[in-house]
Every structure is written in C-alpha cells, then in structure tokens.
Amino acid sequence: MLCVDDLSFGYPAGPSFRFTLAIAPGEIVTLSGESGSGKSTLIDLICGFLTPESGNITWEGRSFLRLAPAIRPVSALFQDGDLFDHLDVEMNIALGLDPRGRPGAAEKARVAAVLDEIGLPGYQRRLPAQLSGGQRQRVALARALVRDKPLMLLDEPFSALDTERRGEMADLVREIADRRDLATLVVSHDAVDAQRLQSRAVALLDGQIVPQPAL
C-alpha cells in the first residue's frame, strides 16, 4: 500500500500543503481540485522532484523519501505524454528502461509485450506523427508501464482526448490496474473520469485531501 503520511510542503510566499492519503494495490484514486490547489505538487513529491518539509511516503511500510526519483517504486505519465517525434514507438517506450536509448534484446521484448498489453501490437517502427491522439497517449502510457513499478501516477492523462477516446483510455487504465495490481493515482479535472475508472474520488481543498461523494 502507498501511504502519504502527513506530508507537508510550502512554497516561499505561496501556498502550503499537508497531504495524507493511502492507496491499496489494485485501487484507483481520482484526485481533483482547482488550479493551484496542489495536485501537481503532490505528484512531484511522490516522484521525488520536490522535497517535503516533514512527513513520510511509504510503499508496503518502507519509506522511499530518500530514494532518487529513478529508483522509486513509481511510474508517472504526465499530461502531454512527452513523446520524441524523431524516435519510433519502440525507442520512445524503451527510454523508460534505458534513458541512453540503447535497448538490447531483453528490453525490446519487454516493449513488444507492453505494446500487446495496450492494444498496439506491431507498432514498434511507427513514428509519433503516424499515430492518432489516442494512440500517442497509449504509447506514453506504455513507457510508464514498461518500467514495471507497483505505483502509477497519471496527471491529466485523458485531457487531450475526445469523449470516446477518454472512455477507451479509462477502460484500459482500469484493466491494467486490475491485472497488474497497481496502486494508481489519477489527477483529473473531469468528475466523470472517477465514474469511468470505478475509482475512489478525493479532492484537494484548502491544501488538504478530502473525500468526495460517489457520483
């Protein structure tokens, strides 16, 4: 289980936050809140891009606050996906395994397996420009999944998609979280996403996480 335990962080001359949250393996939690409420701050703290003033973050009872971002039990997908247009699908995904861009046979086999999992088998040689918006987001998701971490953070993963593609991506995330037993945190401005994902909904209000009623 992921436990964010009384984690505090404040910006100089800016807002202060105090986060407490638990997510079980296989559970999806959807986090909403107004712009500036602290959603991205929480993601950055869990990933290790920011250092908290106090509190702790643990996975299965073990703190990972002192671990570098690359070796935390976390994979993240951010809003824009960050695909490199000059690299094919295989290389874009393989960067999740080898940032130097030199995947070997084992890494390429893992890329092929995750492409099957997201419904894009055989897409290794396609460039991002040859993909639809939904396919690009699936490839970005694959790059997070290929690292095989137990905790997945998704920051507005559906925002650039139309209604039909949003539903398809939500179904895919739900299926993968169930199959892999992933603890999953999804940041979303769309309340309907909580329904699509069959998730527990929480929100950030006055710098703290509060539960939301089921829709």
pTM for the structure as a whole: 0.87
Range 1-73+151-215 has CATH code 3.40.50.300: yes
The DSSP symbol for 74 reads E
Question: E strands of 33-73, at which residues?
Answer: 54-59, 62-63
**Mean pLDDT throughout 12-20?**
89
| Angstrom distance (rounded) from CA 53 to CA 76 | 23
pLDDT (0 to 100) of residue 65: 93
Burial class, 14, CB count within 10 angstroms (exposed 0-12 / middle 13-18 / buried 19+): exposed
- Predicted confidence band of residue 215 (pLDDT cuts 50, 70, 90): low
Residues 92-151: tens digit of each pLDDT: 999 878 777 788 888 889 999 999 998 999 999 999 999 988 888 889 889 889 888 999
Question: Contact, 137 vs 63, CB < 8 A?
Answer: no
DSSP for 149-163? -SEEEEESTTTTS-H
The DSSP symbol for 202 reads E
Domain boundaries, the chain: 1-73+151-215, 87-148
Residues 39-81: tens digit of each pLDDT: 889 999 999 999 999 999 999 999 999 999 989 999 988 866 5
Question: Contact, 158 vs 169, CB < 8 A?
Answer: yes
